[in-house]
Amino acid sequence: MDSGIGLLAATAAVRRLRPDADLVLSLDPDGMPWGPRTPEDLTERALAVAEAAAAHRPDALIVGCNTATVHALTALRARLEPGLPVVGTVPAIKPAAAGGGPVAIWATPATTGSPYQRDLIRDFAAGVTVTEVPCWGLAEAVEHADEAAVAEAVAAAAALTPDDVTTVVLGCTHYELVAERIRAAVQRPGRPPLVLHGSAGAVAAQALRRIGAQPAPDAGAAGTLTVLLSGREGALPAAALAYAEGRLLGETAATR
């Protein structure tokens, strides 16, 4: 679940680990973007999107959105667990900090500077130089596959990123869809190759662990793909097909 196509990265990671999985994607086009909403309003939207997915009786629910995890994970777990395991998406600050830094965390303005993110920095990046970079408009630009707006937002965030940064945490799931454009914008001449840390692979693996399933990349027939748009069954948004992850899902699923 997510407000929009930011969930593609984690969904594609699940598909690669378990091609036979039946997937339900629950998006909220009627309520997006979630970032500018108050925490209370965002939580209400997230609960509605989660319950639409839960009606399909999944084995686990991935909150494929950092901002929703920050503000709504506790409420989602209180509403749905223990019957439905809920897996949040946490910025990959711990593995990024393990490299020694300096580290930049690219995130939405709603997540940047939040107590949740500051706690992660305190707990996992003590002694490492960390710069929090608010990425104004980037998630929205990715959501609409607006190439010009993506380029502008990436350039603006890159300008806020110190030149000595060696590692960037992609603290919004939308950003993983344009990871290589971010790398190209931040990489400085003469510096070591920039390391990017997303969350999709770890989240997919955690979801399988929560339900006691093993990765099986060579599993049999492809599973189905069900898309919910603010609770209504529909199709993947056209913008999703602008990204490799969206094309993978469209190509490998018997959509229904």
Structure tokens that stand for 212 in this block:
């006691």
Beta strands 232-234 and 224-229, pairing class: antiparallel
Catalytic residue among 103, 135, 172, 207: 172
For residues 55 and 12, give the distance between their C-alpha atoms in angstroms, rounded to a whole number. 22
Residue 135 among the catalytic residues:
no
Give the angle subtended at the CA of 166 by the CAs of 161 and 170, to the nearest 5°. 65
The H helix count followed by the E strand count for the chain is 10, 10
- Residue type at 152 in one-letter notation: E
The verdict on whether 172 is a catalytic residue reads: yes
Radius of gyration over every alpha carbon of the chain, rounded to an integer in angstroms: 17
Catalytic residue among 7, 50, 65, 110: 65
Task: Give the count of alpha carbons within 13 A of 150, CB side only.
Answer: 19
187: left (phi over 0), alpha (psi -120 to 50) or beta: beta
Q: Is the peptide bond before 58 cis (omega within 30 degrees of 0)?
A: no
φ/ψ of 198, rounded to 5, equals: -100, -175
Residues acting as catalytic residues: 65, 172
